[in-house]
Amino acid sequence: MKNITVLGSTGSIGINTLEVIQHHPDKFRAFALTANSNVAQMTEQCIKYKPEFAVMADEQSATSLANAIKQDAPDVKVLSGTDALCEVASHIEVDQVMAAIVGAAGLLPTLAAAQKGKRILLANKESLVMSGRIFMDTVSQNNAELLPIDSEHNAIFQSMPMNFANGLDQVGVDKILLTASGGPFRTTPLDELVNMTPEQACKHPNWVMGRKISVDSATMMNKGLEVIEACWLFHSSPDIIDVVIHPQSVIHSLVSYIDGSVLAQLGNPDMRTPIAYGMSWPDRIESGVKRLDLFDIASLYFEAPDEARFPCLKLAKEAMQAGGTNGAILNAANEVAVSKFLNQQIRFTDIAKVIEQVLEIMTAKEADSLENILEDDQLARQCASEVIRKLAA
């Protein structure tokens, strides 16, 4: 029986993780569940899964949760705050940690899990975008296991040789092909993008996701962050990673080899597949996902991304190449801009403008300490807010 802490259990990844756990009650147990402020859904999860711990972001939400479950799940210990997140991620009884908290908030508990040598099922790409070298060193020094859960990185992992850490050139890999759906605005006329609404941006054609990551898909910043993440996960450089728009989201990513072979992982667009793979690796278990029917699909399409349509992709690649804390700056500016867009305070096309200006204004530090990374994260948020204020003036 493996005990799993689910960081971000009320989000789409967390919900799918709990479904896989429910599918295999003899193999996995939800040891701890965490959420930001969704007390209603966390109440349902605590009553259903009876975890040892439930953690909310703030004390008020935790108090509300404790009162809501005191009759039906009285043994669940309810905690709050970042320290509590780190506690349940690094707890001695925990075997695996699903790192699915969106944004910078997931960094510290995911690092805590790495420091205790846990199997980390990484769905929080910001941990690597912000602190790639520190995070990877922590994983290595503590013999933690790092398995990517993003569908694209999980597909790359499945298509790589087991010894890829020896160096991609040493194992015959010459290119990583990172697929992207193109999001909801792939064919929208460029002059209409300025008027796109949050509701339109969140209407992804293939995946059911949270609002923030849905907007990231619409701008393709999610793919930019995934390029950075792939560089760290697979010891790669950005120049051998190509983004390929594949609207059907059936091929989740590919790896090209020097002998002309290209290996790909295919499947229906359902996050339970990579989640189940990460939980059971190196074995495979039933995920509950409908089997892929190639005859039903019939045709697959591919196209190159248009940088005029998706400027965030270029900004992310440039941040990775520049190094230092530029990844943290990029991520922080994007989080602020997306939040303002979702609150209808800026236009869709302003998101990339805000990020670009913040990267131009700020001078990145060396990313050699968590203090530098977190400091520039906060400075970038302040800078982004000021840029947005001027845009609105």
Count of CB atoms situated within 10 Å of the CB of 365 = 18
- 21: tokens are 């756990």
Selection from 247, 250, 248 nearest residue 289 by Cα: 250
How many Å apart are CA 148 and CA 129, to the nearest integer? 14
Burial class (CB in 10 A: 0-12, 13-18, 19+), 330: buried
Question: Which one-letter amino acid corresponds to residue 270?
Answer: D
Q: Is the per-residue pLDDT at 208 higher than 80?
A: no
Give dist(CA 336, CA 279) in Å, integer.
32
Residue 391 has what pLDDT?
A: 87
pLDDT at 184: 94
Helix (H) or strand (E) holding 328: helix 326-342
Write b or e for each residue in 1-13: b if 16 or more Cβ atoms lie within 10 A of its Cβ, otherwise e: eebbbbbbbbbbb
Rounded (10°) angle between helices 326-342 and 126-141: 140
Instruction: Specify the pTM.
Output: 0.92
| Domains with residue ranges and CATH for the chain | 2-148 (3.40.50.720), 155-297 (no CATH), 323-392 (1.10.1740.10)
Q: 95-154: per-residue pLDDT in tens?
A: 999 999 987 889 999 999 999 999 999 998 888 999 999 999 999 999 999 999 999 999
Residue-wise DSSP of 304-326? ---TTT-HHHHHHHHHHHH-TTH
Rounded distance between C-alpha atoms, residue 250 and residue 363, angstroms = 40
Helix axes 326-342, 221-233, angle to 10 degrees: 150
Is 8 a residue whose pLDDT tops 80? Answer: yes
**252-304 tens-digit pLDDT:** 999 999 999 999 999 999 999 999 999 999 999 999 999 999 999 999 999 99
